[in-house]
Chain A
Amino acid sequence: MPRIEIYPKGKDLRGESLKNALSEDLGISCKMVSVADVYTIEGVDENQAKAIAEELLTERLVQEHFIGNKGFKGCWIIEIAYRRGVQDPVELSAMEAIAGIGIDAGSVKTSQKVIVEGIGEPDAGRIGKFLSNEIIQDCTVGYETSATKTAPLSGHSVEPRVETIDLADADETELMRISREGLLSLNIEEMKTIRDYFREIKRNPTDGELETIAQTWSEHCKHKTFNSEVEYLEDGKRQLIRNLFKETIVAATESLNKDWLVSVFSDNAGIIRFTDNVNVAFKVETHNHPSALDPYGGAGTGIGGVIRDILAAGLGAKPIFNTDVFCFAPPNYKGKIPEKILHPKRIMKGVVNAVRDYGNRMGIPTVNGAIIFHDNYLGAPLVYCGTAGIIPDGMEKKRISEGELLVVIGGRTGRDGIHGATFSSAELDEDSPSSAVQIGNAIEEKKFMDAMLEARDKGLYTFVSDCGGGGFSSAIGEMAKDTGVRVFLDRVPLKHQAMVPWEIWVSESQERMVFSVPTGNVDEFIRICRKEGTEATIIGEFTGNKRLEVYYGTKRVIDLDMEFLHQGLPKRSRKAVWKTPMLKEPDFREEKDYTPALKSILSHPSIASKEWVIRQYDHEVQAATILKPLVGAFNDGPSDAAVIKPLFDSWRGIVVSNGINPRYSLIDPYWMAASAIDEALRNAVAAGGNPAHTAILDNFCWGGVSSEESMGRLTRAAKACREFAVMLELPYISGKDSLNNAFNIERKTITIPDTLLISAVSVTDDIRKTVSMDAKKAGNSIYIVGATYDELGGSYFYGLKNETGANVPRVRDSAPIVFEKMSSAISKGLVRSCHDCSEGGIAVAAAEMAFSGDLGMKLSLAAVPYEGDKKNYKLLFSESNTRFIAEVEKGREKEFESAMKPAPTARVGELSDDRLFSVKGLDGEIAISARISELKDSWQQTFRW
């Protein structure tokens, strides 16, 4: 089997950057590091291999090739390849390319060969471990020559067997053994319900039936905790909530009853009105567990998945932007890292690379996001991926008719990603299954996206569903629940033959969509897919008998009643308790100079510049990004939100923002949730979003919900979600929850801080009114809008002092009028720049405005609207909600002030061209003074990677 190695000629950038990483991250100093790409090609001879190497693989000016296994004297050779069964997108492209030059290859295997000089064997082993992820990759270490032996690649085939599982006679212990060993994640009540159903129909379930029920009833698909009945005891007061989700999130939306809501909660994404003929779909998902095991593959498939949600909203929306929010342990984490956990810096880099590679390849700009750091995300990082799309009005409706054909398009089905949906509902531990991890292939998704949008506009299909958690079993089972469907698994195109029927049925292989296509349209549908280079296959038909019937040839794999599958899940009932904790508010002696504190907070990884990350994301593709993530005199200031102008012929725009404050949940998840909602709206309004046309998404990531206390925290946060969404008139249109984010290791559990992400999508009628956060002109006045309170609980200032405190920021009844007035002043053109005031308080927000605009700023705390114990540090660093800092042109102050009435608004200073940032304390003495370049440097140094 010929092996082609591609080496860099001249400067080896990859080798050099790896050499630096090894020294920095592992403390290994090497004499030389070089990286080569290896292609092992089956079914070609030496001459053909030479042709492939020369015509396709080698870029002669910068690369050279070697056919065979080149040795290196005195060097250690580390070679890394994806494990068999794990998808390698490069292999697929290489096969297509080789076919394109007229050579018929059997298969291609790629690997990476790392040559290291000047180390010993133990370090070679460490480097191998550092570079590979054993869950998905094989790594060999050899001296002077690669130890990777190429085995024949062709897979074997297996007998398509269908097993039955004996439930009829199983007792409780046996039922739980079946659930556990089958990785079904079903509890005893659920197992008993299934047993009783099959007893009634007088047979045992097949493996495929049990898998289907487990997938359909998984927390991932059914949100059992959020849909349970909750008996809630709050500080001794009892309340019965019949369905937590319906009585909080859904109830808020229903009571607001906005006429611009098009589709809420019922589809893969929420949809709101944008123009008379075009609507916007928006969805944010979590993809936490896979990202912990394999950050690159996990985050990549997270993005791929949420993009498919948008493509499957209604008859399919065209994606226009991505937003991504991550929570990690700090990248400079110095504590001991338990075995099997990846270092947070490595997780962060893997996740960022995945967003870059997947989002950029899809041609969807990543325009907004946040990265939050806390030690307790060590074992369970959070990866939130969001996408929005535009869809013609009317296309939100989808409906299948009997007799239509079931067609799958996109990637092939393989053994990757079996049990992802059930696995995501469990806590992680050392034995988490490797088969739950998948590798995405953005180009496969891009191809079928182009194909389906063309087919959509021609009206060729009546329904689309994406294959996500649970694979075909969830997608097809759900889309056919009102009709019934007959599926033939032997017709499904496979990546490799070694799969039994139930595995084909539940595989979560990425980049697949299923459609309902009327028979008369199917030829045209398949023709379009073929033109776009995506495979399309008829795998079944929709019936009218409300049954899920799955065959492999003539062999019956599944025959279930849709009613039982979708309605048979026993209702859960939970107890929840909240006791207000007795927390102490610290009191500090006033300091003379808060400049060092401000610099420290600016350097905190959660606040520091993320330019290193943002620049790697394409935020310009589609040419619609009107407010970019980086703004200001040097294009490097932190935008509050992004604004997109998605239509070439309209000035209307979409504003996207987010709010997330996990530190507050350490005090009270109620105010944590309220703050996240307020912050999301604040960010949108600061950029010109309209608070009266703003919808939100809720994404709960909890540390666990097994105890009454944790259920109490969830209930309390959900109640806040209802209350403040109603107060601020922000309907929820979709959401998601991931409630088991803990890692069990060495008999210890590391639990994340309960985290709620609120994502906001707002409509602006004219993007030309957009305001950015960078200060514009010396002489202009600086205002603070909204009152400041003694609310440093959970603040970054307290964080500097290792305190949490008790006075968590609240949201008050005055909030709606502040948002309304701020928004109307912006739309009247009275505001030159506006920045959301949040983490780090007034000091941080004002400093960011000044250095982003390359201007000095002089502030005085005496004028700040404030209630509470008066100390400089409280005014500077309190994180009270519903506040903005606004710049008003000199001479228009009166106009602005009267427009803002009755919202608390005060002129607190002005901009100067001396590039000096200074704040006078309550006593008139200087409390902060620094050159803006020093402050900017503090803010940028953390991620100067």
Chain B
Amino acid sequence: MAVPNALVLRGSGLNCNNETEHALKLAGAETRQAHINDLIEGRTSLDSFHIAVIPGGFSYGDDLGAGKIMAAQISHSLKSDFQKFVKDGKLLIGICNGFQVLVKTGFLPGNCEATLTGNDSGHFEDRWIYIKPAADNIFTRGIKSMHVPVNHGEGKFVASEADLARLERNGQVSFRYCDRLLNDTRGYPENPNGAMRNIAAVTNIKGNVFGMMPHPEKYVIRNQHPRWSREQLPEEGQGLALYRNIVNHAKAMLA
């Protein structure tokens, strides 16, 4: 079977590129990392990839707002390449800072206005949270829930009530924060940032652009779990399922 090529974008301040590449590899993709300047200056072409991931980090230090400057860079210099990539039905993924970039370029949600803004707690937080699928799509397939970390200061998903309703109606809300027993959460800290309607991940309307605040690439082996030494856990971490869904879908498209 053909093996899909996955690009992990690097750039001034992105910093989860290695673990994201590792997760994609474990899920069966051919991977490569490239700096955003390699794309802008034409040394690397987005066209040669089936999957592109903008990983977590602090592009440009989150100055002027998380993801803002890299979003401006993409909108200004790479817009048509990214648009073509998405139009071709390829998978464009943003995790954490990457999600922020995709929202601020307008690729997500794509059909209405939304943003990711400062956590209600007022500062950066690192904690493990639970999320559960809110739609049946290529990313959530087969996943019942995930226990994964969030590590961000600006992860609160915000949109107007009308747009939130529209996103839900369209099945664009992919994952929501929930409590330990996978019930709807009433708030902090299960919903770590105050996101409206507990939204942790969304897609575009076509379903091939995906962004999420939590970090599934940080839980691919059992020993990354915060309680691995006290709980019975499988050897594989729950986060890998998401990357496998991504790679499997790209494989199916190649077939």
Interface residues of chain A, those whose CB is within 8 Å of chain B, are 13-14, 17, 55-57, 59-62, 89-90, 93-94, 96-97, 100-102, 356, 360-363, 441-443, 446-447, 450, 531-533, 614-623, 625-626, 628, 630-633, 635, 645, 648, 767-768, 770-772, 774, 776, 853
Tally of contact residues, B, Cβ under 8 A: 57
8 smallest CB-CB distances across A and B, nearest first, come from A363-B15, A93-B63, A623-B19, A443-B61, A623-B218, A97-B69, A361-B58, A90-B63
B160 to chain A, nearest CB (A): 8
**Bound CA span A14–B224, Å:** 34
Chain B 214-229 interface 0/1 with A at a Cβ cutoff of 8 Å (1 = within): 0101111001101101
Proximity bits, B62-104, A CB within 8 Å = 1, else 0 = 1111001100110011000000000000000000000000001
Task: Decide: A59 and B61 in contact? CB cutoff 8 A.
Answer: no
B159 at interface, CB cutoff 8 A: yes
Stretch in contact with the other chain, from B120-128, B138-146, B167-175, B198-206: B120-128
> A356 contacts which chain B residues (CB < 8 A)?
123-124
Chain B residues with CB below 8 A from A628, complex form:
226
In the complex, A57 Cα to B68 Cα: how many Å? 8
Which residues of chain B have a CB within 8 Å of any CB of chain A? 10, 12-13, 15-16, 18-19, 22, 35, 37-38, 41, 56-58, 60-65, 68-69, 72-73, 76-77, 104, 113-115, 117-118, 120, 122-128, 149, 151, 158-160, 215, 217-220, 223-224, 226-227, 229-230
Q: Which of A57, A621, A630 has the largest number of chain B CB atoms within 10 A? A: A621
Residues of A within 8 A of B72 (CB): 55-56, 97, 100-101
**Neighbour of B127 across the interface among A625, A635, A853, CB < 8 A:** A635
- Measured between alpha carbons, how far is A628 from B227 in the docked complex, in Å? 9
How far, in whole Å, are A97 and B65 apart by their CA atoms in the complex? 12
Q: Which of B114, B125, B217 contacts A623 (CB 8 A)?
A: B217
- Distance in angstroms between the alpha carbons of A337 and B121 in the assembled complex: 30
Q: How far is the CB of B158 from chain A (nearest CB, A)?
A: 5
Is A363's CB under 8 angstroms from B16's CB? yes
Determine if B229 and A772 form an interchain contact, defined as CB atoms under 8 angstroms apart. Answer: yes
* Cβ 8 A contact of A94, one of B64, B124, B149, B227: B64
Establish whether residues A615 and B127, one from each chain, have CB atoms under 8 Å apart when the complex forms.
yes
Q: Is the CB of A100 within 8 A of B217?
A: no
With a cutoff of 8 Å between Cβ atoms, the chain B residues found around residue A621 in the complex are 15-16, 56, 151
Residue of B with least CB distance to A451: B35
* Contact for A56 among B38, B68, B218, CB less than 8 A: B68
B12 x A443 contact (CB < 8 A): yes
- Known contacts A93-B64, A620-B218; A443/B115 CB under 8 A: no
Contact present for B64 and A89 (CB under 8 Å):
no
Task: Give chain A residues whose Cβ lies under 8 Å from the Cβ of B125.
Answer: 615-616
Q: Is the CB of B76 within 8 A of A100?
A: yes
Q: Of A441, A442, A631, which contacts B226 at CB under 8 A?
A: A631
Please name 26 pairs of A and B residues whose Cβ atoms are closer than 8 Å in the assembled complex, sorted by A: A13-B122, A17-B122, A59-B104, A60-B113, A61-B113, A61-B159, A90-B61, A90-B63, A94-B64, A102-B76, A361-B13, A363-B58, A442-B13, A443-B13, A443-B61, A531-B35, A532-B12, A614-B126, A616-B124, A617-B126, A618-B151, A621-B151, A623-B217, A626-B224, A633-B230, A770-B223
**Residue numbers in A under 8 Å from B158 (CB-CB):** 61-62
List of A residues within 8 angstroms of B120 by Cβ = 13
Contact call B230/A447, Cβ cutoff below 8 A: no
B193 to chain A, nearest CB (A): 11
Nearest-CB distance from B96 to chain A (Å)?
10
Residues of B within 8 A of A614 (CB): 126
**Which of these, A61, A90, A447, A618, contacts B115 with CB under 8 Å?**
A61
A446-B12, A533-B37 given; A645·B223 CB < 8 A: yes
Of all chain A residues, the one with the shortest Cβ separation from B223 is A626
Cβ–Cβ < 8 Å partners of A59 in chain B: 65, 68, 104, 115, 117
User: A774 to chain B: which residues have CB within 8 Å?
Assistant: 230
Contacts A56-B64, A100-B73, A621-B15 aside, 9 further interface pairs with beta carbons under 8 A come to: A14-B118, A57-B64, A89-B61, A93-B60, A615-B126, A618-B126, A623-B220, A635-B128, A770-B223
A631 and B123 alpha carbons, distance in the complex (Å): 22
